[in-house]
Structure 1
Amino acid sequence: MRNSEVTKQRLLDAATAEFAAYGIAGARVDRIAVTADCNKQSIYGYFGNKDGLFDAVFDAMVVQTVSSVPIDAHDLAGYAGKLFDWYRKHPEVLRLANWQQLERGDANELIKIMADATQEKVAKVRQAQQAGVVSDTIPAEYLLVLVIRLSTAQLDHCNLDQKKSKALRAAMIEAVRRIVTP
């Protein structure tokens, strides 16, 4: 990896933590630069401005989330459980999504980003529906959104202890199972 790529990655990592903690408005370019061990000009050179940096962080987060948890469209309840576990390990993802919605408020842009990122997964759900393995009462693209949203239930609003987390996970998996069973 070239030095500029390493610097850019350090900036993205530092910015991810900063934006997750403070949001777009509260994030400080100075803190990001210090954490990334580079100068502020690097941020402007690579990303244009703080908003451009947030966009890069958010886009990378969406791609990482979608690619980190492979889908098994024949076991959407199991997929939801894996998503739940992944979100528990990566709470910054839900915080970034919340900040994006709160500060940008452009639901259409968020929907487009998610739709583009999950096209392949929607196609797999649609195939499972056509095979009769998954209920087709809800269109595949909406069904996937429901599964994803159920997998984040309560994770972005509170810190759950292990026992409550386990119970919530089990309830969420059962809810998904009931929704998708033909």
Structure 2
Amino acid sequence: MSYDAAATRKRIFEAASAEFTERGLAGARIERIAVAAQANKQAIYLYFGNKEALFGAVIRGKMDEICHQGPLDPNAVADTVGHLFDWYGEHPEFVRLLMWEALESCTAEATGEDERRGAYRDHAQALVAAGVAADAPDDASRVRAAQDWLFTLLGLVAWNYAVPQLRRMVLDESDDKAALARRRAAVVEAVRILAASR
């Protein structure tokens, strides 16, 4: 039987995703990841580098999953945000990973920040090309307005999953599914109103 490097990388990625989601960067242990992935620690270092680089690879991988759901369609932004809301619900680990990153980041820049920033720039440029902030005085202003709009949309979705205890208290809803359904409808409607006013 030959060694399957791609399968090993995939197992390491999945084990690391679970470990970082549960324990964050500081609490995660390479030894636990290796055991869960049925790989040795040397393979982890070979394929991903150190623990911080592995954490960054996990976050970038999750971001890629979102990007493969399709681009943010400015002409159907409410529907696109509804799909994004559903994706976050199916992948609660993503918000948790972002929260861990925010809490534990010891440097001014997150791991892989330049690459991730580039992806968001591409999204903002696509929004500008589709006519977002068309009434802004110049290209730089249009890009800034699109970036603000994108961040607002992401916040409208992510906050619902970032603070489930606050969602439960504010909505006074004991049924989590019902609360998320209410929030999805409210977010989609808010985005529809925002999009109509752009």
TM range (shorter): 0.7 to 0.9
Q: Which runs of 5+ in 2 are unaligned?
A: 135-141, 166-174
After superposition, the Cα gap between the structure-2 partners of 1:130 and 1:176, relative to the gap in structure 1 and judged at 3 Å, is: closer
Deviation at 1:106, TM superposition (A): 5.1
Q: 1:166 aligns with which of 175, 178, 181?
A: 181
Distance, in Å, in 2 between the alignment partners of 1:177 and 1:105 is 38
What is the match of residue 142 of structure 1? Answer: 148
Q: 2:118 aligns with which of 116, 119, 129?
A: 116
Distance, in Å, in 1 between the alignment partners of 2:107 and 2:185 is 33
Distance, in Å, in 1 between the alignment partners of 2:109 and 2:193 is 29
What is the match of residue 24 of structure 2? Answer: 23
8 A Cα contact 1:24 1:99, kept in partner: yes
After superposition, the Cα gap between the structure-2 partners of 1:66 and 1:106, relative to the gap in structure 1 and judged at 3 Å, is: farther
Deviation at 1:45, TM superposition (A): 1.8
Deviation at 1:9, TM superposition (A): 1.3
CA offset digits 1:13-44 (Å, max 9, x no partner): 11001001100011111111111011112112
The structure whose Rg is larger is 2
Question: What letter corresponds to residue 155 of structure 2 in structure 1?
Answer: R
Q: TM (normalized to structure 2)? A: 0.79
Question: What letter corresponds to residue 80 of structure 1 in structure 2?
Answer: V
Give the alignment of 1:149-160 within 5 angstroms: 149-158=155-164
Question: What letter corresponds to residue 153 of structure 2 in structure 1?
Answer: V
After superposition, the Cα gap between the structure-2 partners of 1:130 and 1:61, relative to the gap in structure 1 and judged at 3 Å, is: closer
Distance, in Å, in 2 between the alignment partners of 1:39 and 1:156 is 33
What is the match of residue 125 of structure 1? Answer: 127
Percent identity of equivalent pairs: 36
Deviation at 1:107, TM superposition (A): 6.3
After superposition, the Cα gap between the structure-2 partners of 1:178 and 1:106, relative to the gap in structure 1 and judged at 3 Å, is: farther
Question: What letter corresponds to residue 76 of structure 1 in structure 2?
Answer: V
Q: TM (normalized to structure 1)? A: 0.86
* Aligned-residue CA RMSD (Å): 2.4
Does residue 52 (structure 1) correspond to residue 53 (structure 2)? The answer is yes
